[in-house]
Structure formats: C-alpha cells, structure tokens
Chain A
Amino acid sequence: MPNRTGSFGSHRFRLIIKYLFIVCVVAIYISAMWQTETNPKAFIEGVPDLIDFVGLMFPPHVVDWNSPYFYKADTNITQLLWAAVETIQMAIMGTVLSVVFGFMLAMFAARNITPNVFIYQTTRTICDASRGISELVWALLFVAMVGLGPFTGVLALTVHNSGALGKYFSEAIEAIDVGVIESVESSGATRTQVFFHGIMPELRALFLSYILYYFEHNLRQATVLGVVGAGGIGIELLLSIRYFNFDTVLTILIIILAMVVVTDRLSGLIRKRLVGGEILVVA
C-alpha cells in the first residue's frame, strides 16, 4: 500500500483504519464460513466419510468378468479408453477452432490495429462475455440447443476459449512496437497482410505458448464436459458415480490424470523452449 500522509494521516487515525480493515476481513471470513457451512465440525465429520469413500474406490476396476451390477458389466477398460480418446479429440477440435476465432477477435480487439473505437469496444465486450461464462455453462446451454454429444462439447470449448484467446492475443498485439506495424502498413498492406507479416513473426513464440496452455486447459475441461452430457470421459464418470461403481470411478480418475499430466509435461517442455519459462494466464 502506498504511504500517504494526508491531512488525516495522523498516527492514531491510520491505526484505527488498520484495525477497522482487520475487523472487516475477519467479519468477511466469518460470514463466508457461516454461509458455506465450513466449520471445524464439518471437517471432523467429513473425515470418516472421506475414508469410507476412498475405501470404496479401491482397488480400481480394470476388467470385470462377472459383476453383479448391471452397469458395471458393460463398462470395460476399452470403453473408458475410447471415451478418453474422444476427450482428446474434443480438446484438439476446441483448441483449433478457438485459435481461429481467437485470432479473428484479436484483430479487432487490439487498439493499435483497429481503426474504429466502436468496433474495438464491441469486440472487447464479446471477448469478455464469452470468456466470463465458463465452459460448463456454455455446455449446458448448447446441450439445450443442439443436443447431447461431443459436438456440443466442442462448441462450448470453442466459445469460451475464443474469448480468452482473443483477449490474450489482442493484449500481446497491443504490446508490440507501433513502428513495425506502421512500416508494414506504409507498404500498402491490407489488414490481413499486416497481421501475417507484421504481427505474426514478432509474436509467434508467445502465441504458440498461449495455444499450448489453452490446449492443456481444454483437455482438463473436456474431461468434465461429459458430466452435463457434452461428450468425453465425463459421461463415464457421471454414470459410474450414479451407479455407485466407485472402483470404476478410480479407474477413470487414473486415466484422466495420466492424460492431463502427460500433456502438461509435454507442453511445458515445448513452452520452455519457446519462451524460456512459464506464462501466467488465468483461464
């Protein structure tokens, strides 16, 4: 906090402000805990439930030869792996489409290459709105529109992440040197040419690292879209929980974790080579 010594900046006054601030923070936390029923009692009562639950999940279900449960009987590892492949496909498709739309949005949402303030503001608002609503909400809306299936999941990923990528791309474009853009523009280049010859070469590494980051993010989100019926391994998770097949749940969690960790590590490696470190983005 900046130190200001205004007319009221006496020592005692600042002390009072400080205590008031602390009291406010404590009050906020207490009301938050009260509202969410988060208290020591809930924690203590939760522990045996959690242990029970973990006990139900072990050992993970791999192949089931003669199961008494009817859902379990037709859940086998191949089916789960196919659902995992579908999840990866959704993440790929979602990333490709959101990169395309993200670039389109970014071209109009970067202040230094957009001629018109109105267009710029409108595009910004579109970016903020599509980004501000999370994938799962989009997925539920699209399920209501176009029905169940992986295509719905792709739509949800695309809409949310186009906004996010549009925002990050345009911020990157706004940060580059105006001279570069002007020199390309002065040679009579069109907007598209400015984009591909003036901006792309400058920001290629940064763009690629954002894209990789969003692929990781999309994969993680694609694993849950199935919970609302939008394809991928989430649907298996939903069914296994609904049918109380917690050993299958553990198998699914292991598959999800393996996919996510392998992708994270790979894209982390590539990103380190591209920009020499992590980038901080919030999805």
Chain B
Amino acid sequence: MPLPSSTPAPDQLFYLRASKRRKTQLRQALIVLAIALVTYWAAVGTETSIGRFIDGLYYGYDFLTRSLPPSFEEADRILPRLFETLAIALLGTTFGILLAFPLAIFASRNIVKNPLIYQSVRFVIDTFRGISEIVWAYLLVSAVGLGPFPGVLALTIHNAGALGKYFSETIESIDPGIMEAVAAPGSNQIKLFSRGIWPELKPLFINYMFFYFEASVRQATILGIVGAGGIGLEFIIAIKHFKYPVAMTIVFAMLLLVVVTDRTSAFVRGRLVGSDGAQ
C-alpha cells in the first residue's frame, strides 16, 4: 500500500498500524462470534447436529439399496412429461417476459415520475417475485384446478416479478442525458429509443431472459409436486407409491433435462450476446 506524502516516523507508523490491526482483529472476532451464535441458534431450531448427520448416512445407504438400480418400467410415461416440462418453462418464460416489460417501465423512477404509481408497481413486482413458483402453483391449482396450465401461470407470475425487477434496475441505470433527450419535446422518441437506449439494454435483457429460461426449466421440473404438471407429477407419484427405483430414474431424467437445456441455452446466449454473459 503506498504511503501518503506526509509519512509518519517509522515508530509512529508501527503503533498506528498496530492499533489499527487490533481494531480490525476485534471487529473480525466479533463478526465470527455473531455468526457462530446465530448458527448455533439455527442449529438448535432445526435439530441439526453431527449425530443426525451420522445417522443420516445409514438411512441414506439404506435408501440407496432400495432405490438402485433405477427402474425403467415407467419410462414411456416419463418422456412426454419431459416435453411438457419444457413447454411449461418456455411459455412461463415468454409470458413472464411479456408481462415484465410493462411492469419494469412503470417501476422505473426515471420514466414514471409519479411516486404513487412507481411505488405500487414496485409492490406488485415484490409480491410476484417474493412468493416462489411452487407457492404460486399451489395457490393456482387450488383456484383453477390441476394440470399444466396453473404451472404456466405460476412461472409467468414469478418470472414477471423477477425479470421486472431486473429490467427496471437496468432501465434506471440508463444515462440521464439520454433520458432527457428522449423526453424533450419534438424529439423522435422511437428513433432515440431504438438508437440510444435499446442497444445499451439489449445484451443485459437477453442475458436475463436466458438465465430465467434456465431457472424456469429447473422450477418446471418440480411444479408437478403440487399438481401443476410436468415431470414432478410422476416423481411425487413414484415417491408416494414407494417406487423408489422409478423415482431414481425420474431424478436422472430431470437432471439430464436441466443440464441439456443449460448447455444449449448458454450456447445460444453466447452466440447472441458474444460472451458467456457473466457480469
């Protein structure tokens, strides 16, 4: 670290550093202590202990002997469910994006000046995003009945909130100069948007969309657990019927689906944006 121009005498520097170091050490010790206490509290509350882990190893071994090797006896039911899962994820992401754009625009402080509108749209976004897909799916299954359709709706709602938040943060980070030019009377707003704003937003938006498609596939695999279609339905049925070898096959199928879509989506995203998209 470079020293400032008015360097203290070496012995002074030594004491300054020593006291500073002591202070940081004290602070670090306090942080570690706080984390340890909170962890202990959480461990007691969740009945987590080393003994239970050791017991768990035995139960895990027992489970594996009952579930391996995977059984393919219901493989003909799994494949269509995989396609259904992909379909749910695709539609949930698409509708989510379509809904996220208007939400994001009304939730951006630099576009909507009225704080009432801005805050209430923010509230809607937080609600959509804060409640997870599975809960939405469970509620919608209760409301509109079983099947893949409530799954699509659940993903749409959650993705609209999550993407709406990210989109609006991106919009808010636009250079204010450009925004003023767009808002100025007599300006060609469409041209300014397409030339000035969109090129800045496009790579970020595309990244978010692909990331959320990947996340949606992952989530679509479990929506069936609450009755909202997809491969999760077969999984919960297998588990409830204690057909663990079948459940194992389904787990591998889910894993395969997720890995393949992740890789494909990363590849397409890389071609579109010209990078792997990591910020």
Report which A residues bind B (CB closer than 8 A): 1-2, 28-29, 31-33, 35-38, 42, 45-46, 49-50, 52-53, 85-86, 88-90, 92-93, 96-97, 128-129, 132-134, 136-137, 140-141, 144-146, 149-151, 153-155, 171, 220-221, 223-224, 227-228, 231, 234, 237-238, 241, 246, 249, 253, 256-257, 260-261, 264, 278-280, 282-283
How far, in angstroms, from A132 to B55 measured CA to CA in the complex? 26
Cβ-defined partner of B222 (8 Å) among A29, A52, A89, A137: A137
A128 — which chain B residues lie within 8 A by C-beta?
259
Whether A92 contacts B225 by the Cβ 8 Å rule is no
Q: A145 touching B135 by the CB < 8 A rule? A: no
| CB-defined contacts of A38 to chain B, threshold 8 Å | 91, 148-149, 152
A238: B residues at CB distance < 8 A: 138
Does B87 sit within 8 A of A, measured CB to CB?
yes
Q: Report 23 cross-chain contacts, Cβ distance below 8 Å, ordered by A residue.
A: A2-B271, A35-B83, A35-B148, A36-B151, A36-B152, A37-B147, A37-B149, A49-B143, A52-B143, A85-B45, A89-B45, A93-B46, A128-B259, A132-B254, A132-B255, A132-B262, A134-B222, A137-B235, A146-B55, A150-B47, A151-B46, A154-B48, A257-B131
Given contacts A38-B148, A92-B38, whether A237 and B46 have CB atoms under 8 Å apart is no
CB distance from B211 to the nearest CB of A (A): 4
- Shortest CB–CB separation between residue B221 and chain A, in angstroms? 6
* A146 lies within 8 A of B132 (CB): no
Chain B residues contacting A234 (CB-CB under 8 Å) are 135
- 1/0 per residue, CB under 8 A from A, across B28-72: the answer is 000000010011011101111000100110011011000000000
Q: Which of B39, B83, B139, B254 is packed against the most chain A CB atoms within 10 Å?
A: B139
Give the chain A neighbours of B219 by CB distance below 8 A: 134
Q: Is the CB of A136 within 8 A of B135?
A: no
**B100: interface (CB < 8 Å):** no
Do B218 and A134 touch (CB < 8 A)?
yes
Partner of A32, one of B91, B139, B247: B91
- Convert B212-223 into 0s and 1s, putting 1 for each residue whose CB lies closer than 8 angstroms to a CB of A: 101100110110
Chain A residues with CB below 8 A from B55, complex form: 146
**For B106, what are the chain A residues with a Cβ–Cβ distance below 8 Å?**
none
Q: List residues of chain A with CB within 8 A of the CB of B145.
A: 49
In the complex, what residue of chain B is closest to A37 when comparing beta carbons?
Answer: B149
**Contacting pair B215 A283 (CB below 8 A):** yes
The reply to whether B135 and A96 form a contact with Cβ atoms under 8 Å apart is: no
User: Contacts of B259 on A, CB cut-off 8 Å?
Assistant: 128, 132
Any chain A CB within 8 A of the CB of B251?
Answer: yes
A81 to B127, CA, bound (A): 19
B249 CB-CB contact with A under 8 Å: no
Across the interface, do A50 and B221 meet the contact criterion of CB distance under 8 Å? no
Contact among B41, B84, B208, B247 with A36 in the assembled complex (CB-CB below 8 Å)? B84
User: How far, in Å, is B144 (CB) from chain A's closest CB?
Assistant: 4
B52, B87, B215: the one contacting A146 at CB < 8 Å is B52
Interface-central residue, A46, A52, A221, by most chain B CB under 10 Å: A46
Question: A35-B83, A96-B35, A144-B239 are known contacts; what are 11 more A-B pairs with Cβ within 8 Å?
Answer: A2-B271, A42-B149, A89-B41, A134-B221, A137-B251, A149-B47, A220-B130, A261-B130, A280-B277, A283-B215, A283-B218
- How far, in Å, is A145 (CB) from chain B's closest CB? 4
Q: A1-B272, A151-B52, A282-B211 are in contact. Are A227 and B244 (CB under 8 A)?
A: no
Which one, A31, A144, A151, A264, contacts B48 given CB within 8 A? A151
Kindly state whether residue B108 has any CB partner on chain A within 8 Å.
no
